[in-house]
Amino acid sequence: MDTAGKRDDAEKEGPRRAGKTLVEGAYETLRREILDGTFEPGTKLRTEELRTRYNISGSTMREALTRLLGEALVTTEGQRGFRVAPASIADFEDLTRVRVLVETEALRQAIAHGDEDWESQLVASFYRLSKVEERLAQDQKEAASDYEGRNRDFHNALIAACPSRWLHYIAGILFQQSERYRRLALAKRSIPRDLHAEHKAIFDAAIARDPDLASKYAAEHIERTLTALRIALEPTGVKERPRKERAKPKVSLGLED
């Protein structure tokens, strides 16, 4: 290829790279605002409003929304546009059950196949997580984003030696889908919780190559977030006794009893 041809290709690549950067920026910003609750579950995401908010084109915004649709953080109904994916205790219960199944199996396989490199990466990720947990106790709002990232790194390090790529893929999706619920449970602080102690128990059992104990602590750790959120969202006060309803007349469907 001659010099002029290379220059033409470079000029074409420049706008493409810039477009990808804009999409990536819009995707990351909107994703963060969905996860931190700026956009609550069920909120309608109007492309024009978002385009103005982020100062980008409509097509760039739609591409970012499509990426979030693929991550199940956004939903769409025909031609009615996009909404933030709904959230509920029932959904989180289901998510938690499946996550326990997948992560504990991946952890068992990682312990069985893990070498010294796996151990060293696990030690490093636990240390980094421990440092942000100290900050979390003092300033939750400031440390929350750093905590989520290092918490993810620690859970990834735990199962890094698992040889199944499908377990890794599914575990990643489930962890990501749990993030909104974890942030809410963290903010509510409905039950006393020592996150560092929970993580240390999993870490110690994994380093000791005890798959049964490590899986037990990992399952309890994941399920405890569900318990915390369930308690946080329970209605307070005395429940009103249901009124006795009048008997409704039977409606005949033209069938014999």
**Which residues make Cβ contacts (< 8 Å) with residue 37, sequence separation at least 6?**
180, 183, 184
- The class of domain 10-31+38-84 in CATH terms is mainly alpha
105-117 confidence digits (pLDDT tens): 999 999 999 999 9
Residue 82: name the closest of 69, 91, 95, 93 by CA.
69
The helix or strand, by DSSP H or E, that contains position 109, with its residue range, turns out to be: helix 89-113
How high is the pLDDT of residue 54?
A: 87
- Please report, for the chain, the start and end positions of each structural domain, with discontinuous segments joined by +: 10-31+38-84, 89-232
The structure's pTM equals 0.72
Domain at 89-232, CATH from 3.90.550.10, 3.30.450.20, 1.20.120.530, 3.40.50.720: 1.20.120.530
d(C-alpha 108, C-alpha 114), whole Å: 10
117-157 confidence digits (pLDDT tens): 999 999 999 999 999 988 877 776 667 778 888 999 999 99
How high is the pLDDT of residue 23?
A: 87
CA angle 65–68–70, rounded 5-degree value: 115
Percent of the chain, pLDDT > 90? 42
